[in-house]
Amino acid sequence: MATVTVATFNLYNQSGRWAERQPLVLDQMLELLPDVIGLQEVDLRIDQGVTLSRLVNARLREEGKPRYRIYHMGRPSHAAATVVQAVMSRLPVLAHEGLDYLSNEGVAQRLRVQLDGTATLDFYNTHLFFPPEATQERVDQVNKLLPWIDMWSGADAVAVCGDFNAYPGEPVFDLMKTRFVSAHEAAHGKEPEKTWPTPVNKDDPSPPGCLDYIFVSGAKVLKAGLAFDRPHPQDQLLFPSDHIGVYAKLQV
């Protein structure tokens, strides 16, 4: 058996005092040190994902630990050159490809990663459509995501992570749970009270709640919780992002 720590985190692109948020993201990434992490709202205009990877890897190099490679997936139309999704992995990646939802600039990406021994994990990263009232649009996207997941077979476990923009109990959440277990719910009996927003986001009046999830199959959830959730010690309004991340330690 192998163990792997996966995570998901929406970076909120370069909005909300990014220059000040970046050190918080870096420090809390190094504390968590996930094997694989899915990132949403990665801003290509400032090379956000690559810069973060380089900063993390510089620290890991000093400590002699395995370093990350980053894999981007652009959105298909006018936003393709600005905000994208990305996955950072410290594990060997055997394959990487993407899915265009063909609606609302949505995409998903997946990587097959090599765990200890011969075990493999299929890791999916997605960001479903916003705003909260766009329930049917998100359902349509998940109804494209699930058959795409079925097209890949042979991995020992699957983790589907991301910003789903859906509160617990919504159709998208229930649809995912017909196939997968929510890692946080498996570990704690419920979802987090909220993963969005933090005081970094001053513009969106949507109700607070849990929007970010890790869904798994073929793996035992050993531990799960929140990540990137601590504000700056001298500024309680400055968080790593407007979202809080989620992580899970899995046994495959």
Domain extents in the chain:
3-251
What the block records as the tokens of 92 is 């060997």
Tens of pLDDT along the chain (252 residues) come to: 899 999 999 999 999 999 999 999 999 999 999 999 999 999 999 999 999 999 999 999 999 999 999 999 997 776 667 899 999 999 999 999 999 999 888 999 999 999 988 999 999 999 999 999 999 999 999 999 999 999 999 999 999 999 999 999 999 999 999 999 999 999 999 999 999 999 999 999 999 999 999 999 999 999 999 999 999 999 999 999 999 999 999 999
Q: Distance between CA atoms of 212 and 219, rounded to whole angstroms? A: 19
DSSP 53-117: HHHHHHHHHHHTPPPPEEEEEE-SSTTTTTEEEEEEESSPEEEEEEEE-SSTT-EEEEEEEE-ST
Q: Distance between CA atoms of 212 and 61, rounded to whole angstroms? A: 30
Q: In this structure, are residues 243 and 212 in contact, taking their beta carbons and an 8 Å threshold?
A: yes
Confidence (pLDDT) at 104 = 86
CA-based torsion, 110, 178, 222, 85: positive or negative: positive
Q: What angle do CA 72, 223, 154 make, to 5 degrees?
A: 55
Confidence (pLDDT) at 146 = 98
What's this model's pTM, rounded to 2 decimal places? 0.97
Strand 220-227 to 245-251 pairing:
antiparallel
Domain 3-251 fold is Deoxyribonuclease I; Chain A (3.60.10)
Q: What angle do CA 251, 220, 171 make, to 5 degrees?
A: 130
